[in-house]
Amino acid sequence: MPGVASGEAMEKSAVVQGSCRQDVKTFLPDFREKYYRKSVSRHRIDGERRLFFLRRPSPSVLGRCPRRVTAMRRRAKPRGPIFGRAARAARLGAGRVQAYAMAVLLTVVATGFTAVCHELGLGDVEFAWFFVSIALASCYGTAPGVFAGILAGFVTDFVFIPPLFDLQIELDDVLRTLVYVSVSLVIGKLVRARQRAEAEVKDREGVLSYVAHELRTPLGTITSWAELIRRGTIPTERLPHAAEVILRNVKLLARITQDLVDLSRMALGTLSLRREPLDPGQLVSDCVASARETALQKGVVIEEALRPVGPVLADRERLSQVVGNVLNNAIRFTPAGGEVHVRLREEGRRAVLTVTDTGGGIPRHLLPRIFEPGTRHAKSEGFGLGLTIARDIVEHHGGTISAHSAGEGLGASFTIVLPVD
């Protein structure tokens, strides 16, 4: 029938559109751990035993498109040829040597201009060229700026201050060098502040672009099926299927939205934890019970072996979110007839939870960055933020989470370690 064919065409189009999304390893290359800290952040506890983490906002939140990723690694790409060369040198890994070489070159150029001004009898104005060289050298970092300041002090004393070509260090020479160094430190700080601000602006643009890209598919699917229902072109017997498709995509949108909210709170340092002593075994058992129905529908068997473990001081809701995420991932990537093993034990005053599946495993190129924002398997849905948020929550509790896999088709194992209270 036309309605059925139209509905199937819409659904097939949405699936094709989703499959054409950029590969994650191309979209988010070499995303380093510059947003997440491995150490537990500073915190405070209020009267209701809620834990607030005080973390500085990070300029790096999500992934970004390939054309911008090199310009946003560690520093933004500033304007101007001098700034541009400094940023490119830092990205290529040879920035340190090139930065000091540029500091020497700039000092030599400043010496030449100062000598010309000295011959013209311009007085103290002639030494302004050294401040210019220090400012430009500071664009490559604080250390090259300080190095240029020290060079400027020695050159000034050796070439322009009588007795000439004599390196006798006096008090005024030391003070002059300190002035040069202080100027370089101030300029370097201002340059870094500017670069951070530019990086934050570019990151926001990357976030908006990535979010728009990811939300387009579920929104398009919902709109298409809703339009077919409104026109009445779908037969009555197909309405349950249409409702199921719409509901599935609405849940996907809700999960993406919640992930963005959680990630934003973590980036701004406003994530609060209501910590209380709880039994890890009971919490894991509840999470397994919640996931068992999904596993049964898919034909996956969950086996659990939970040994007695001491209480942990944790936020029940957030920790359940972490365990549930790991369990759901294991079930999602395990084919029918596969197994998911859940093990809980105590080792050295630490609760160790291991979730192992017999599913498709993790590709070797994804394993080192499996917890980075946007990293996901090509066959997965969602925003690629679940494991990123899980790691951050676990680290907020003073624990660790790690992933292991022998390769594709060989299953995967996730281990969560938390301190026992």
Do 411 and 310 fall within a single domain?
yes
Total domain count, the chain: 3
Q: What percent of the chain has pLDDT over 90?
A: 17
Whether residue 160 contacts residue 172, with contact meaning beta carbons closer than 8 Å, is answered with no
* Residues 237-264, mean pLDDT to the nearest whole number: 83
Q: Which two tokens stand for residue 327?
A: 């369990």
Q: What gap in Å lies between CA 11 and CA 221, rounded to an integer?
A: 7
Residue 76 counted as domain residue: no
Are 26 and 140 found together in one domain?
no
Please say if the pLDDT value at position 13 is more than 80. Answer: no
Residues 283 and 400 in one domain: yes
Q: Which of 17, 24, 367, 13 lies closest to 210 in space, CA to CA?
A: 24
Q: Give the domain range for residue 354.
A: 276-419
Maximum distance among all alpha carbons in the chain?
101
In a domain? residue 111: yes
DSSP 8-state assignment for residue 159: I
Is 292 in the same domain as 366?
A: yes
Position 28 pLDDT exceeds 60:
no
Q: What is the pLDDT of residues 206-226, one digit of tens each?
A: 666 666 766 777 888 898 889
Here the tokens at position 212 are 């728009």
* CATH code of the domain covering residue 308: 3.30.565.10
Question: What is the reported pLDDT for 134?
Answer: 77
Say yes or no: 131 and 86 in one domain.
yes
Domain contains 207: no
